[in-house]
Amino acid sequence: MKVILARDLLGVNTVKGENNREILEKKGLLTLNIISSPGAGKTTLLEVTMKSLKNKYNFGVIEGDLYTSRDALRLEEHSHAIVQINTCGMCHLNADMVARALKDMPLDSLDVIIIENVGNLVCPAAFYLGETFKVAVLSVPEGSDKPAKYPELFKEARAVIINKSDLLPYTDFDLPGCVKELRQINPRAEILVVSARTGEGMDQWIGWLEVNVQQIKQLSTKECLQ
């Protein structure tokens, strides 16, 4: 017997992502899917961010890595709950893994969920996890041509963080050119130039985060009242 399916495979993941989104929205949780190439500084950025907001918000962290739980250990002391996912060779997180991680999290006592995706500029962008926003991190040593060369992620990101700004004087990174290209690829993305090392620009990023945490909370309480 022949059975015709004509089923879109990325769609299978998207449906699971929508389920996650529904759960997270009900709880009023801003959920960020942080994507960058390996070593752009996601974990460092999160360390600094969570440390400075620790008394204000309870962070839930889903940490995606190919192997090891080193990044989760680095973030543990700043987070309220943390789940490490080892993809064992898979180049991105998918919605199913996130669904399982969410089951292990005390969602009612959290304010924000941060998903640190596997370090990879290409694949994670294709897999919707149920996040409110994707946040792309690009670091100065990678070169200013990356947004134009890997547009899929930068097209979809709500915020683009250009990290390691302390290294600008030592590289040929063309900051104005990079920002101009980012604007062409994605006119509505928030572009934040920061150094997780020196703290430069971190206030703006943290401000952006706070505004969005509040907005998502308000949206969900409004819906409950209706």
Partner 1 sequence: MHEFSLVSDLLETVMKSAEENGIKSVSKVKLTVGECHGALPEALSFAFMALSGDTVCSGAELDIDIKSGLLLCTACGHSFSYEILQTMCPECGSVYLDIISGRELRVDYYEGE
Ligand X SMILES: Nc1nc2c(ncn2[C@@H]2O[C@H](COP(=O)(O)OP(=O)(O)OP(=O)(O)O)[C@@H](O)[C@H]2O)c(=O)[nH]1
In the complex, which residues of this chain contact Mg ion (CB under 5 A)? 42-43, 71
Among 19, 74, 143, 151, binds partner 1 (CB under 8 A): 151
Judged by CB under 6 A, the stretch of 19-27, 153-161, 162-170, 212-220 that binds ligand X is 162-170
Q: Is 126 in the site for partner 1 (CB under 8 A)?
A: yes
| Calpha distance 218→220 (Å, rounded) | 5
Provide the minimum distance between the beta carbon of 177 and partner 1 in the complex, in angstroms, as a whole number: 12
Q: Which is nearer to ligand X, 166 or 190 (CB)?
A: 166
Q: How far apart are CA 84 and CA 105, in angstroms?
A: 11
Answer for which of 23, 66, 90, 219 binds partner 1 (CB under 8 A) is 90
Picking from 43, 103, 25, the residue whose alpha carbon sits closest to that of residue 79 is: 43
Give 151-178 as a 3 state SS string: HHHHHHCCEEEEECHHHHHHCCCCHHHH
Of 36 and 186, CB closest to ligand X: 36
In this chain, which stretch among 9-17, 34-42, 73-81, 171-179 interacts with partner 1, using CB under 8 A?
9-17
For 203, phi and psi rounded to 5 degrees? -60, -40
Nearer to partner 1, 58 or 87 (CB): 87
Residue 201 lies near partner 1 (rule: CB under 8 A): no
213 C-beta neighbours (distance < 10 Å), count: 20
Residues with Cβ within 8 Å of 6's Cβ and at least 6 positions away in sequence, in order, are none
Q: Which residue has the tokens 């290409």?
A: 122
Alpha-carbon dihedral 87, 92, 96, 97, rounded to 10 degrees: 40
Q: Could you say whether residue 9 binds partner 1 (CB under 8 A)?
A: yes
**C-beta of 36 vs 144, nearer to ligand X:** 36
Selected binder of ligand X within 17, 28, 41, 60 (CB under 6 A): 41
The residues in 104-123 that bind partner 1, with binding defined as CB under 8 A, are 123
Report how many residues bind ligand X under the rule CB under 6 A.
Answer: 17
Residues ≥6 apart with Cβ < 8 Å to 196:
41, 44, 45, 47, 48, 163, 164, 202
Binding site for partner 1 (CB under 8 A): 1-10, 12-13, 89-92, 94, 123, 126-127, 145, 148-149, 151, 184-185
Binding site for ligand X (CB under 6 A): 36, 38-44, 71, 119, 163-164, 166-167, 195-197
